[in-house]
Amino acid sequence: MDANEEDKIIQDITRQEYKEGFVTDVRQEFIPKGLDEDIVRMISALKEEPGWLLEFRLDAFRKWQKMKMPQWGHLDMPKIDFQDIIYYAAPKKNEDRPKEIDPKLEETFEKLGIPVREREALAGVVAVDAVFDSVSVATTFRAALAEKGIIFCSFSEAVKEHPDLVRKYLATVVPSGDNFFAALNSAVFSDGSFCYIPKGVKCPMDLSSYFRINAKGTGQFERTLIVADEGSSVSYMEGCTAPMRDENQLHAAVVEIVVEKDADVRYSTVQNWYPGDAQGRGGILNLVTKRGICKGAGSHLSWTQVETGSAITWKYPSTILKGDNSSSEFYSVAVTNNFQQADTGTKMIHTGKNTRSRIVSKGISAGRSQNSYRGLVMMGSGADGARNHSQCDSLLIGSACGAHTFPDIRSNNPTAIVEHEATTSKISEEQLFYCNQRGLSPEDAVGLIVNGYAHEVLSRLPMEFAVEATKLLQVSLEGSVG
Amino acid sequence: MASNSSEKDHGNYVPTPVGAGVGVRDGESLKEVFVVGEDHIPECFVAGKDSSLDITVIVLPGCKAGIPLKFELTGEGASVRLSGIFLCKDDDGVSFDITMHHRAPRCKSNQVFNGIAAGRSQCSFSGRIIVAPGASLTEAYQENHNILLGDLARVGTKPRLEIYNDDVKCSHGATVGKLSEEEQFYMRSRGIPEEETKVLQMISFVAPVLSGCDDPVLAGRVEAAIREMA
């Protein structure tokens, strides 16, 4: 590929449009801008929460007030004015028809291709919890799941209907004062999903939650809590989009996963928040805390993420491997383009004996973006015979982008083995030449190579998601990916 | 909330001034072996056009030291080979802080650091490779391997890659592990005593670094130190 052609392809990339960028005009209710104890109380009151949850929120809020925004990320973060955000926005319910979903809202989800209603059962056997701005609007397949004793509902419903379970597990993996954004989330979280799989139950379908930020000037703070009891298994998927706006919008979520003895959880994310325009204006600030604990012996937790959106991504899905013989994996593809910045990776904290973890991270940077992998592998003194293998590859497309790798390996146990390898390179001329020679256009060739490069991760995604993710990868790198 | 302005520099590359240090002039070469605690080690080396540097750093037991080392590759085509051994026991503590800054095109750097931590020693390795936006056709490699011998020994390693140029080949690798029992079994089944198998394993572990050092006296001291640790 000569220099001109390369330039043309890079220009094409920057001209792409964000197809989820529409705004839905539904009647919404807001609370006033800003954040203080009264706002926290107001959110709690609006959601008719019990006293213990209000206390939890206030405690988190007080912790948050004493904290400073973390600066260690390899990110150029715009200043966030936390008093200029609306912390709660909900589609207004029509009192006469409380069971129905606003047709406009349904249209939105229709556009996004999300099966909100049961009739979509034919389209794919997936149970969906859709969160629109701050509240969960619909959860499908409740009845089918309830038969097996599985609880899958919005977080607010869970607080009302299963308070003991929520109280038992809430903030056990991510304490309210864990970090700046987790504390903020704990104080103002509006809704999210709750999922409980009872002992020995294999969830018969993939569970999925879908998040969308719609209203202007709002932030989204959802909370997901997944509990897999002894011997159970579940596959959970999460997707997200937002409209195009010139300003940055904040998304600070918390995901907690508890995996008991011999249970198996697969958590997949396809993150496609609005990334900002080609000049770097606007976009979602995606500042998320995700953590799971392999609590019991032989438990297993697998993270798979495809990150294509957001102006800034700050996200480290982590696993604490506490149970003996437990295992965890982290598979990630992060694509950045234009002015996007991503600082993402994982933490594997081994404390149990013979625990295993594997990290595969693939970064692709194009345009003028910055893409960093940041990871921690920690072998505690009790982690006898533990093992980790990490592989982080970065691919650079265009000369103005950056790719960075910041692993941190700490071993306190002489019987533990940690291996880490990382490479950074561009698409090799030989590979391109090979494809061109066989009649593929340069664009198709780049597409083929990028897809092959990410294949190891994409193949880990559940079927429906894999299709979406492959498409997203193509949209994100449109022009260079055929 | 503040919006991003289009002029904003998202590059994140901070063009720090070139540090002052031992200059290796255009086309010249420098080969040195430093023993920490005995030799004075310059904190910064500046490599000129087509220059070549071969630096070896050796840490013998009984050492508590922080070792900052910076390499500024300012001349086109400069090449640096940097290697190190650290042998730590008892209450030793060693922390390497290495920066390899590629500022010019066609430079090459290759780093190998192998360390053994026994007793209650604490070893940390932090190695940064920075490739500046103009430094195309860079080749930069880094390896850090560690062996933990004691329950109370601690090893931390932070290899870092910061790449601001697409025409590069860069990699790093880091491992932390133990002496392989299978290798020991192989040797013992051939009549080599257990203690000796460990010594052989450790010598072979540091050999890639030691091979670049022509001083037989120093090599003898490294071997003696390893025998003491086994």
Tell me which chain B residue has its CA closest to the CA of residue A278. Answer: B6
Using one digit for the tens of pLDDT, what is the confidence trace for A314-373? 999 999 999 999 999 999 999 888 888 999 999 999 999 999 999 999 999 888 889 999
Reading the block at residue A4, the tokens are: 């001109």
CA distance A10 to chain B (A): 13
CA distance A146 to chain B (A): 42
Q: Which of A277, A262, A371 is nearest to A315 (CA)?
A: A371
Q: Do B177 and A418 touch (CB under 8 A)?
A: yes
Q: How far apart are CA B155 and CA B116, in angstroms?
A: 9
Q: Shortest CB distance from A414 goes to which of B151, B159, B165?
A: B151
Q: Shortest CB distance from A250 goes to which of B1, B162, B171?
A: B1
Q: Do B11 and A85 touch (CB under 8 A)?
A: no
Q: Shortest CB distance from B3 goes to which of A282, A396, A407?
A: A282
Q: Do A422 and B171 touch (CB under 8 A)?
A: yes
pLDDT confidence of residue A72: 84
Q: Residue B164: its chain A contacts at CB < 8 A?
A: 402
CA distance A334 to chain B (A): 16
Q: Which of B82, B74, B73 is nearest to B31 (CA)?
A: B82
pLDDT confidence of residue B161: 92
CA distance B214 to chain A (A): 30
Q: Residue B173: its chain A contacts at CB < 8 A?
A: 419-422
CA distance B128 to chain A (A): 9
Q: Do A370 and B150 touch (CB under 8 A)?
A: no
Q: Do B12 and A419 touch (CB under 8 A)?
A: no
**Angle between the N-to-C axes of helices A442-458 and A463-476, in degrees from 0 to 180, rounded to the nearest 10:** 140
pLDDT confidence of residue A366: 86
Q: How far apart are CA A310 and CA A288, in angstroms?
A: 12
> Which ranges of chain A have pLDDT less than 70?
1-29, 90-140, 212-216, 240-246, 464, 474-482
First to last CA, chain B: 60
pLDDT confidence of residue A254: 93
Q: Do B162 and A404 touch (CB under 8 A)?
A: yes
**Residue B75 has what DSSP assignment?**
S
Q: Do A417 and B12 touch (CB under 8 A)?
A: no
Q: Do B4 and A276 touch (CB under 8 A)?
A: yes
Q: Do A414 and B149 touch (CB under 8 A)?
A: yes
Mean pLDDT per 10-residue segment, chain B (230 residues): 36 77 88 90 93 93 92 94 93 94 94 94 94 91 93 93 90 93 94 93 92 85 89
Q: Residue B157: its chain A contacts at CB < 8 A?
A: 408-410
Q: Which of residues 49-68 of B touch A (CB under 8 A)?
A: none
Q: What ipTM was assigned to the predicted interfaces of this complex?
A: 0.84
In degrees and rounded to multiples of 5, residue A481 shows phi and psi of: -110, 125
Q: Do A424 and B8 touch (CB under 8 A)?
A: no
pLDDT confidence of residue A219: 77
Q: How far apart are CA A254 and CA A248, in angstroms?
A: 19
Q: How far apart are CA A414 and CA A298, in angstroms?
A: 22
- Cβ A229 vs Cβ A259: under 8 Å: no
Q: Do B163 and A394 touch (CB under 8 A)?
A: yes
Coil, strand or helix at A83:
helix
CA distance B10 to chain A (A): 6
pLDDT confidence of residue A130: 64
- Cβ A363 vs Cβ A395: under 8 Å: yes
Q: Which amino acid is at B107?
A: C
Q: Which of residues 1-60 of B touch A (CB under 8 A)?
A: 1-6, 8-13
In degrees and rounded to multiples of 5, residue A113 shows phi and psi of: 75, 30
Q: How far apart are CA B41 and CA A289, in angstroms?
A: 43
Coil, strand or helix at B199:
helix
pLDDT confidence of residue B2: 36
In terms of phi and psi (left: phi > 0; alpha: psi -120 to 50; beta: otherwise), the region of B134 is: alpha
CA distance B94 to chain A (A): 15
Q: Do B172 and A422 touch (CB under 8 A)?
A: yes
Q: How far apart are CA B163 and CA A403, in angstroms?
A: 5
DSSP element (H, E) containing A41:
helix A37-46
B180 Cβ under 8 Å from any chain A Cβ: no
pLDDT confidence of residue A95: 42
Q: Which amino acid is at B105?
A: P
Q: Do A406 and B3 touch (CB under 8 A)?
A: no
pLDDT confidence of residue B187: 95
Q: Do A247 and B153 touch (CB under 8 A)?
A: no
